Structure 1
Amino acid sequence: MTEPRVGSRYELKVDEEGAHESAVAHDYFAVHPGDVEEVADEGDLLGYVHSYEVGSTVDGPGIRFVAFLSGCLLRCQYCHNPDTWHKRNGYPVTVSRAMGEISKYAHVLKTCRGGITLSGGEPMVQRPFVLRLFRRCKELGLHTCMDTSGRLGDRFTDQDLMDIDLHLLDIKSGDPEIYQKVTRQPLQPTLDYAYRLSALGRPLWVRYVLVPGLTDSYDNVEKVADICAQLTSLERVEVLRFHQMGSDKWKELGLDYTLKDCEAPDAALTERVRGQFRSRGLTVY
């Protein structure tokens, strides 16, 4: 088994199996059969991991161990990890092997009021692996967090959600047409998942990526802010400014990056958008 790789989320990493599957499928933007297949929850579960980082302060509270899993149904125009779209692009790792790495840092993560965050890609693609990993982490006393778009939220039962202490929920747009343009997927499953988390009282932070000319319209932001205002378990909104740090991956993968000429939002636009969320009484970063 290949060793999991520590390093930056911005490094291009594709396993040979995933590269072969993508080449056979021809269309890299398509969802491959292996991306959505259900895996039996038995034995020492195997997951697919792009990379992991130790010491993150931007993926949940405190100091965190962040594992980037592979597999995602969304094809976001600004994605900085297109090498995680296909599940088998990641490297195979068992739960035991993953826990062996995580446990090395358990003491310092707890001391620093952090924990483990599973990101991607989209962790929901690998539900059994994610749940087994979170259960083991809870047994170590670690805070657990999942960064997700909620697209496959209906795969998770209410009981499954009890081992997830915090959701970082990415709401890409409040307008269904803009959401479809940005992601190639429908908005409604994300909204259904957000309202369900709220009804269950499960803590969440909403993340909104601000892209000039794509997601920055006043009306679109108003719709996202209205959604957030209805989420009673929402603790904060994070307005994430668009950047070009993943653009090189698109080029290396031979993909057309339509936002290559897009600039980061300036201070005035960023503050206007944050103000729209604050006007609902929300805590905004």
Structure 2
Amino acid sequence: MLQGRIHSIETMGLVDGPGVRTVFFLQGCPLRCSYCHNPDSQKTCGGTPMTPQEVVALARRYRPYHQSTGGGVTFSGGEPLMQGEFLAQCLALLKAEGFHTAIDTSGFGPEKWMDSILSNTDCVLMDLKATDPETHLQLTGKPLTGRLPFWLRLQAFQGMVWIRHVVVPGFSDTPQVMEALFHQACQIKMVEKIELLPYHKHGSAKYALLGLDDPLAETPAMDQQQTRQWEKQLMDRLTAFKAKQPAITPMVPKAS
């Protein structure tokens, strides 16, 4: 029987998609983000084994909260795409029962399951780690091109898309990066929101606990006020940009 590896579960999440959400953090990630606040989720081994059926059974317990708030179930990580077959089965079962589904992803993972995953996903929280190849490699240890197969599929995705970006002092805290982020967001027709997340130091204690060196130990936390100001500017520009675009006509199946 297929099992996934679950790093942790948040039963009443408020920031990983619309409404109150049950969030499953999957074990394993191909990236090594310098600002990762869950470095223990990076290894593919470990975690608690669960079947897709067990995931759905747990989600059912919190369905009243989902329904009253427009929430649902989100898969995060680590990187959920790395457990592609398990994720695809979970999403298919959840959609069959009418759950609103979301994935929080960097776009890195096996291409084999991407179409199945997206076909049962209502909302994609797309984490743009960096806007240029050099910074992406420096911050994550992987080439930016690794997200391309998923990014191309996302351009044709008909669900909801939120763009997310962690603003790190010395790496992405410049107007030039904000401009590049805006132009990349405009490549995805279904983007509804751009979220800027200020880099924080909350994960420093976990690095020490795990006996790991904190790659950004000397980097200060990002100024939250500046981050919110940039986020508002980006959202104002996105709203104006979308207002100029032709309306998207839903595809209606032809009568047989």
TM-score, normalising length from structure 2? 0.87
State the shift of 1:109 in Å.
1.5
Match of 1:211 in 2: 168
1:159 Cα deviation from its structure 2 partner:
4.0
> CA 1:267–1:248 in structure 2 vs 1: closer, same or farther (change >3 Å)?
closer
Partners in 2 of 1:54 and 1:91 — Cα distance? 16
**1:137 is matched with which residue?**
94
Cα offset, 1:67, TM superposition: 0.7
**Residues 184-228 of structure 1: CA distance to partner in whole angstroms, max 9, x if unpaired?**
011123244234212233321010101111221332232222111
Q: Tell me how far apart the structure 2 counterparts of residues 200 and 69 of structure 1 sit (CA, whole Å).
A: 23
- 1:55 is aligned to 12
User: Structure 2 CA distance, aligned partners of 1:95 and 1:174?
Assistant: 34
Unpaired segments ≥5 residues, structure 2: 241-256
Which residue of 186, 202, 209 maps to 1:229? 186
Residue 185 (1) aligns with residue 162 (2): no
Q: Write the mapping of 1:163-178 to structure 2, written as runs, cut at 5 A.
A: 163-178=120-135
Letter in 2 for 1:48: R
Letter in 1 for 2:178: V
- Cα pair distance change 1:161/1:267, threshold 3 Å: closer
Q: Please, what is the CA RMSD of the aligned residues?
A: 1.9
Of 108-117 and 176-185, the range deviating more from structure 2: 108-117
Aligned length: 240
Number of the residue aligned with 1:88: 45
2:159 matched residue in structure 1? 202
Kindly provide the amino acid, as one letter, of the partner of residue 208 in structure 1. Answer: H
Task: Determine the structure 1 residue equivalent to 2:107.
Answer: 150
- Return the alpha-carbon distance in structure 1 between the equivalents of residues 115 and 57 of structure 2: 28
In the aligned structure 2, how far is the partner of 1:274 from the partner of 1:112? 24
TM-score (norm 1): 0.78
Give unmatched runs, 5+ long, in structure 1: 1-43
Q: Aligned partner of 2:88: which letter?
A: L
Relative to structure 1, the CA distance from residue 279 to residue 114 in structure 2 (aligned partners, 3 Å threshold; closer, same or farther) is closer
Tell me the secondary structure at the aligned position of residue 156 of structure 2: helix
Sequence identity percentage: 37
Q: CA offset at residue 263 of structure 1?
A: 2.4
CA distance in 2, matches of 1:175, 1:259: 19
CA offsets per residue over residues 125-171 of structure 1, 9 Å max, x none? 11111111111111221100000000126233434311011110100
Selected match of 1:77 from 29, 34, 52: 34
The residue type paired with residue 34 of structure 2 is: Q
The secondary structure found in structure 2 opposite 1:87 is: coil
For 1:186, give the aligned amino acid. Answer: P
AA of the residue aligned to 2:75: L
Which amino acid letter does the alignment assign opposite residue 159 of structure 2? R
Residue aligning to 2:25: 68
Question: For residue 230 of structure 1, what is the amino acid of its counterpart?
Answer: Q
- Hey, what's the Cα distance between the residues in 2 that align with 1:203 and 1:188? 23
Matched, 1:247 2:188: no
2:203 corresponds to 1:260:
no
Secondary structure of 2:155's counterpart equals helix
Contact 2:118/2:157 (CA < 8 Å) preserved in 1?
no
Kept after mapping to 2: 8 A contact 1:47/1:94: yes
- Is the aligned partner of 1:102 residue 2:42? no
